[in-house]
Amino acid sequence: MMDWSPVFISMKTASLSIFITFFVGLIVAWGLIKIKNDSIKIVLDGIFTLPIVLPPTVVGFFLLYIFGVRGPIGSFFLDFFSTKIAFSWSATVIAAVVMSFPLMYRSARGAFEQVDSNLLDAGRTLGMSEWKIFWKILFANALPGIISGGILAFARGLGEFGATAMLAGNIAGQTRTLPMAVYSEVAAGNMGSAFDYVIVIVIISFIAIFIMDFITIRKERQWR
Amino acid sequence: MSKLLKVDIQKKLKEFDLDVNFELRKGCLGILGPSGCGKSMTLKSIAGIVDPDEGIVSFNNGDETIYFDSSKKTNLKPQKRNVGYLFQNYALFPNMTVEENVAVGLSKDDDMTIVSEMIKRFHLNGLEKRYPRQLSGGQQQRVALARILAYSPDVILFDEPFSAMDTYLKEQLRIELVNLLNDFDGLSILVTHDRDEAFQFCDALLVLDEGKIIAKGSTHELFENPKKVQVARLTGCKNISKIEIVDEYHVKALDWGITLEVSEKISSNITHIGIRAHDFTPAQSDEVNSFDTINATKLEMPFEWEITLANGIWWKFEKPIRAHDFEIPQFLKVDPKNIILLED
């Protein structure tokens, strides 16, 4: 009988992390394109992009350094909330968010930059508030690009392995996500159950991409 | 009620410094200039899309509203200026229907019947649920105008509205825009590099070059007497030559190698003359201001012949559509009255 807990843990982690990544990525991308100073822009862009350039274990190392019981944030949570972040379920979310963030942020930024800036200025001269301009013009017209960024980020979060292993470990029933489970089963020589997990992960990924693509294509059809 | 738009702005740009200063009290002002002369930057500064470095922009229709004043650090957001802006590509929102586009500038408290009024006024009935990409260029322009007017602006700015259109569509839309401007009782500014548009729409003109105003005045006056080489060129004078003054009423056109008589006394600051391509007529060899046409080439257009003389002079001669034969006369002349004296 297959242990379903990695499936549930992965679903929970991937859903919460894409939720966080999606909105934070959007807002950071929006903030960044508004910055006029080029050198500040380049430095910030470098920092936000770093996680996909570095080896995941290196990112995991940094995360462990920050969120570990002796790290600045880790010790703060331990002192004030008596909770350990590292090697808990929340660590899987943090690892997934950090690793998937650059994909979301870069796609959103690229999609925003593709939107004709005259549209935003037209909105302003027509009295639309900046918030309305963001959602109704910038976001709405960048949607296809944003969605594809979302797909990539979701897939990255679902498949996250290296940083998760470093920060969250591989505790069965707690931090063992699907990729972890695949690894553990193979390591234990159980190719059969590893295969089951692989099937599940392929199906989930495919469904996610299908749903998002479907939304994008339908939306685009409407305008053209 | 009297209205007044005051603009006096300076801004450092990469290639040159923009320094523009004018007042507009009624009708449509044209800003004519070559591309990249700072025309659009001027409009954007009025709308608040771009901030000038220094200066004042204000609007008055009984009460004065300061849009921008660098000395008082006032800088009203574009949202608060009530200035309509017609973008070159119309900037319709591709994700919204015609109806949504027109209504976008209205707030919840506004009377929504204005949307259907505008749809009717701009002949957009039946297109309410269409998206901009499903409309023709003319319909798109009408949606953009409807959207601006629904917002009832005090000032409308037109940024090269016809530059990206084919001739046929352009001519149609010009008529529509002329009608609209006749109905609109606010102020408007039209930016263009096309002399025909400037002439058709605007009672008064500013000529801008490298960020500076090089001429301003009534449109007819500027076209008849451009005074400066740049202005003559922008108002469509085809033949411009550097000159050497021979005596008070004679000049030698250096680029054409001919000596011409002029009707006005020449002052020493005149450096060039201009002659419009339509102002030549066939002549005898012994007439005033006549010259030969040896080695001239001709080019047939639907309604005129374009003749280029060996010395570079252009002559345009009107013809009926069915006439296809034309013998270039041996001599041409120009009336001294039609020679425009220009300063550099």
A214: tokens are: 């479907």
Question: Which residue in the set B89, B95, B131 is minimally distant from A118, CB to CB?
Answer: B89
Give residue for tokens 């009782």: B185
- Do the Cβ atoms of B78 and A124 come within 8 Å? yes
Q: Please say if the pLDDT value at position B129 is more than 90.
A: yes
| Helix or strand (DSSP H, E) at B134 | none
Q: Which residue of B has its CA nearest to A219?
A: B95
**Looking at chain A, how many residues does it have?**
224
Question: Which residue in the set A118, A223, A224 is minimally distant from B87, CB to CB?
Answer: A118
The DSSP secondary-structure symbol of B136 reads -
The predicted pLDDT at position A125 comes to 94
Going from the C-alpha of B120 to that of each of B65, B123, B152, the distances in angstroms are 32, 5, 16
Identify the CA nearest to B303 among candidates B289, B315, B316, B319: B319
- Do the Cβ atoms of B49 and A121 come within 8 Å? yes
Residues A141-154 as b/e (b if ≥16 CB within 10 A, e otherwise) read: bbbbbbbbbbbbbb
The DSSP secondary-structure symbol of A215 reads H
The β-bridge partners of B212 are: B19, B209
Residues B279-291 as b/e (b if ≥16 CB within 10 A, e otherwise) read: bbbbbeeeeebbb
Residues of chain A with pLDDT under 70: 1, 220, 222-224
Q: Would you say B213 and B207 are in contact if contact means Cβ atoms under 8 Å apart? A: yes
Query: What does the alpha-carbon distance between residue B306 and residue A78 come to, in Å, rounded to a whole number?
Result: 88
Phi/psi at A129 (5° precision): -70, 160
Q: Would you say A124 and A133 are in contact if contact means Cβ atoms under 8 Å apart? A: yes
A131 Cα to chain B: minimum distance (Å): 12
Say how many C-beta atoms besides its own lie within 10 A of residue B248's C-beta.
11
Question: Which residue in the set B85, B95, B131 is minimally distant from A125, CB to CB?
Answer: B85
B82: left (phi over 0), alpha (psi -120 to 50) or beta: left
The DSSP secondary-structure symbol of B218 reads E
A36: tokens are: 């006029």
Q: Which residues of B touch A146 (CB under 8 A)?
A: none
> For the segment A86-96, what is each residue's pLDDT rounded down to a tens digit?
889 999 999 99
Q: What share of chain A is helix, strand, coil (3-state, %, to 5)?
A: 80, 0, 20
Q: List residues of chain A with CB under 8 Å from any CB of chain B.
A: 116, 118-119, 121-129, 136-137, 140-141, 143, 222-224
Query: What does the alpha-carbon distance between residue B146 and residue B100 come to, in Å, rounded to a whole number?
Result: 11
What is the average pLDDT value for chain B, to the nearest integer? Answer: 90
Query: What does the alpha-carbon distance between residue B153 and residue B142 come to, in Å, rounded to a whole number?
Result: 16
Q: Which residues of B touch A119 (CB under 8 A)?
A: 91, 93
| Helix or strand (DSSP H, E) at B190 | strand B187-192
Query: What does the alpha-carbon distance between residue B51 and residue B57 come to, in Å, rounded to a whole number?
Result: 11
The predicted pLDDT at position B304 comes to 92
A162 Cα to chain B: minimum distance (Å): 40
Query: What does the alpha-carbon distance between residue B341 and residue B265 come to, in Å, rounded to a whole number?
Result: 10
pTM of the model: 0.82
Average of per-residue pLDDT across B235-256: 91
SS3 of B97-136: CHHHHHHCCCCCCCCCHHHHHHHHHCCCCCCCCCCHHHCC
Identify the CA nearest to B265 among candidates B246, B245, B249: B249
The predicted pLDDT at position B1 comes to 64
Q: Which residues of B touch A123 (CB under 8 A)?
A: 93, 104
Give the strand pairing for B74-75 and B304-308: unpaired
> For the segment B201-214, what is each residue's pLDDT rounded down to a tens digit?
898 999 998 899 99
ipTM over 0.90: no
B86: tokens are: 């017609």
Q: Which residues of A touch B88 (CB under 8 A)?
A: 118
Query: What does the alpha-carbon distance between residue A162 and residue A169 come to, in Å, rounded to a whole number?
Result: 10
The three-class DSSP label of residue A120 is helix
Question: Which residue in the set B87, B95, B134 is minimally distant from A122, CB to CB?
Answer: B87
B260 Cα to chain A: minimum distance (Å): 51
Q: Would you say B306 and B235 are in contact if contact means Cβ atoms under 8 Å apart? A: no
Query: What does the alpha-carbon distance between residue A50 and residue A6 come to, in Å, rounded to a whole number?
Result: 28
B317: tokens are: 């001669």
Query: What does the alpha-carbon distance between residue A119 and residue A108 come to, in Å, rounded to a whole number?
Result: 17
Amino acid present at A167: L
Q: Would you say B206 and B32 are in contact if contact means Cβ atoms under 8 Å apart? A: yes
C-alpha A150: how far from its chain's center? 8
C-alpha B179: how far from its chain's center? 17
Q: Which residue of B has its CA nearest to A144?
A: B95
Q: Would you say A98 and A166 are in contact if contact means Cβ atoms under 8 Å apart? A: no
Query: What does the alpha-carbon distance between residue B273 and residue A96 come to, in Å, rounded to a whole number?
Result: 74
Q: Would you say A96 and A25 are in contact if contact means Cβ atoms under 8 Å apart? A: no
